[in-house]
A and B are shown apart, each in its own frame.
Chain A
C-alpha cells in the first residue's frame, strides 16, 4: 500500500529524513513513535506530499509521489489526514465541514453527502452536534468531527499526526476509541502518537524513529518491552516513567 524507497529529506542543511525504507501493507496499523524532532510528522506528511521528499521514492497505492505526472489531488483524495490541532474549518458547521470535500472533489449530491456525513457523525457519536460550529465543540468532539471529515472521502489510508496531543487527558479516550474501531474495520493507518496504550492494543508494528532515522521496527512488545537499541531503551524508560497509569488503562 505504501512503500518508502531510500527516501531522504532536508530542511536547508538539516537532514530530517535519512534513508527511509519502509513497507506498509493494506489493512496494517503502524504506530510511529520517538522523541520530538525525530522526523515522525515529517515522515507522515511525505505520504500525501504535504512535504515533498528530495531523494528516493514513495509509492502510495501504485502512485509514485515524486513523479510530476502523478495527479496529486487524486492521491490526496485517497488519503485521509487528521492533524494535532484538528483544524476544522471555523466558518462551517460540523456537517458542512464533513460534506465539503465529498461534494466538491467526489461530486456527490448535497443529499448523498449529508447522508454519508450523518452516518459518520453517528459513528463518532456526534450526530446530535451536526449544526454546531467548531468553537462550540470540545477538543475531543472537534477531533472526532475531523476524523469523520477525513472518512467521508472513503480514503484507502488514514494518517494521524499526534491526534490526541492537544487534548485534555479526559478527552483522549473518546478519540482513541474511534481510532480503535477504525483499525478493527481494516483501515490502513499510520499513526504518530505517544499513546503507548493505544499502540500496544492496536498497532501491528511500531516504528521507532530518532534523529531522522528509523532505528527499529517491530511488534509492540518488541519495541516497548524488549528494545534492542540503546536509544530506544532510553526513550522507552522515560516514556514509562508513570507505568501505573498505562497499565490501569490497559485493564479497563
Chain B
C-alpha cells in the first residue's frame, strides 16, 4: 500500500509539475499580451485560481466537473478507476499554474524593455521573441521562487487524499485505520516527503549553478 502510495504521489508530482509549468507559461503570455481580451482572460484566470484554495479545485474536479459534462461522459469518468488521480492532477495543475504564471510575470517585468526592442528590430516574430529572448530570461530570473513553488506543489499532492486518490498520505491513513500501525506508516511517509523535497531543492540549486553566467566562468576559446 505504501509503495503504491509513493508511486501515485510521484505520478501526481511529475504530471502536475509539467502541466502547471506549461499552463502557467501560456497564462503569463496571455497576461502580458497586447491583446486586451487575452490580458483580461489571463488576469481573470490568476485571480480565480489563486484566490480559491487548491483543495477546493481538487474537490471540484472530482465531484462537480463530471456533472458538467454530458451524462454519458460524466458517468464514464465517475466509473473510471483512475479518475481520482486525474481529478487530482487537474485540480493541482490549475492551482499551481496560477502561481507559476505570476512568478514568471515578475520575471518578465525584470527584463529591460530594450531586450524586446532589439529582438523586434532584428526582425524576429512575436513568437520567436518569446521563445528565444524573453522566456529563457524569465525562467532564469525566477528560478529560485519557481523552485520553491514546485516543492510547494509537491506537498500539495497530499491534498488528493480528500478524493481518495491512493497517494502516500491517503495510504498512511488507510494503514492506520486498517492495522493501527499508523506511527510506522506515517514515519516512512514523513521520511519520503523530506527526502524527495530535498532532492528537488538540490536539483534546483544545481540548475541555478549550471545556468549562472558570471565573469569567472568564461571558457577561454582558442584565440
Are A and B physically bound partners?
yes
Q: Given A104-B128, A133-B218, A91 and B213 touching (CB < 8 A)?
A: yes
Q: Does B118 contact A (CB under 8 A)?
A: yes
- Shortest beta-carbon distance from A154 to chain B in Å: 11
Q: Does B177 contact A (CB under 8 A)?
A: no
B residues contacting the other copy or chain, number (CB 8 A): 25
Instruction: Write out the residue numbers on chain A whose beta carbons fall within 8 Å of the beta carbon of B132.
Output: 89, 100, 104
Could you tell me the distance between the alpha carbons of A73 and B129 in the complex, rounded to whole angstroms?
12
Q: Does B120 contact A (CB under 8 A)?
A: yes
Could you tell me the distance between the alpha carbons of A161 and B149 in the complex, rounded to whole angstroms?
41
Contact A90 B118 (CB under 8 A): no
Contact B114 A83 (CB under 8 A): yes
Q: For chain B residues 120-172, which have a beta carbon within 8 Å of chain A?
A: 120-125, 128, 132-133, 136-137, 140
- Shortest beta-carbon distance from A158 to chain B in Å: 11
Q: Given A130-B221, A135-B213, A136-B215, A87 and B123 touching (CB < 8 A)?
A: no
Q: Does B219 contact A (CB under 8 A)?
A: yes
Cβ 8 A contact of A131, one of B112, B125, B128, B219: B219
Q: Does A189 contact B (CB under 8 A)?
A: no
Contact A87 B140 (CB under 8 A): no
Interface residue stretch chosen among A55-63, A74-82, A193-201, A231-239 = A74-82
As a 0/1 sequence over residues 95 to 134 of chain B, the CB contacts with chain A under 8 angstroms (1 = contact) are: 0000000000000000010110110111111001000110
Q: Does A6 contact B (CB under 8 A)?
A: no
Contact B140 A73 (CB under 8 A): no
Instruction: Write out the residue numbers on chain B whose beta carbons fall within 8 Å of the beta carbon of A242.
Output: none
Instruction: Write out the residue numbers on chain B whose beta carbons fall within 8 Å of the beta carbon of A87.
Output: 112, 114-115, 117-118
Instruction: Write out the residue numbers on chain A whose beta carbons fall within 8 Å of the beta carbon of B218.
Output: 131-133, 136
Q: Given A89-B133, A90-B213, A81 and B221 touching (CB < 8 A)?
A: no
- Shortest beta-carbon distance from A58 to chain B in Å: 15
Q: Does B178 contact A (CB under 8 A)?
A: no
Task: Write the chain B residue with the least CB distance to A101.
Answer: B122
A residues contacting the other copy or chain, number (CB 8 A): 30
As a 0/1 sequence over residues 29 to 46 of chain B, the CB contacts with chain A under 8 angstroms (1 = contact) are: 000000000000000000
Instruction: Write out the residue numbers on chain B whose beta carbons fall within 8 Å of the beta carbon of A79.
Output: 121
Q: Does A48 contact B (CB under 8 A)?
A: yes
Cβ 8 A contact of B221, one of A90, A101, A104, A128: A128
Q: Given A101-B124, A105-B124, A135-B215, A128 and B223 touching (CB < 8 A)?
A: yes
Contact B122 A105 (CB under 8 A): yes
Could you tell me the distance between the alpha carbons of A48 and B213 in the complex, rounded to whole angstroms?
32
Q: Does A153 contact B (CB under 8 A)?
A: yes
Could you tell me the distance between the alpha carbons of A77 and B219 in the complex, rounded to whole angstroms?
32
Cβ 8 A contact of A149, one of B117, B122, B128, B219: B122
Q: For chain A residues 76-109, which have a beta carbon within 8 Å of chain B?
A: 76-77, 79-81, 83, 85, 87, 89-91, 100-101, 104-105
Q: Does A50 contact B (CB under 8 A)?
A: yes
Could you tell me the distance between the alpha carbons of A79 and B159 in the complex, rounded to whole angstroms?
55
Q: Given A87-B112, A90-B213, A77 and B137 touching (CB < 8 A)?
A: no
Q: For chain B residues 154-212, which have a beta carbon within 8 Å of chain A?
A: none
- Shortest beta-carbon distance from B105 to chain A in Å: 18
Q: Given A87-B117, A90-B137, A128-B223, A73 and B125 touching (CB < 8 A)?
A: yes
Q: List 30 A-B contacts (CB under 8 A).
A: A73-B125, A76-B122, A76-B123, A77-B122, A79-B121, A81-B118, A81-B121, A83-B114, A83-B117, A85-B114, A87-B112, A87-B114, A87-B117, A89-B115, A89-B132, A89-B133, A89-B137, A100-B133, A101-B123, A104-B124, A104-B128, A104-B132, A105-B122, A128-B223, A131-B219, A131-B221, A133-B218, A135-B213, A135-B214, A136-B215
Chain A residues close to B by CB (< 8 Å): 48, 50, 73-74, 76-77, 79-81, 83, 85, 87, 89-91, 100-101, 104-105, 128-133, 135-136, 149-150, 153
Given contacts A100-B124, A104-B124, 8 further A-B contacts (CB under 8 A): A73-B125, A76-B123, A79-B121, A81-B118, A83-B117, A101-B122, A128-B221, A135-B215
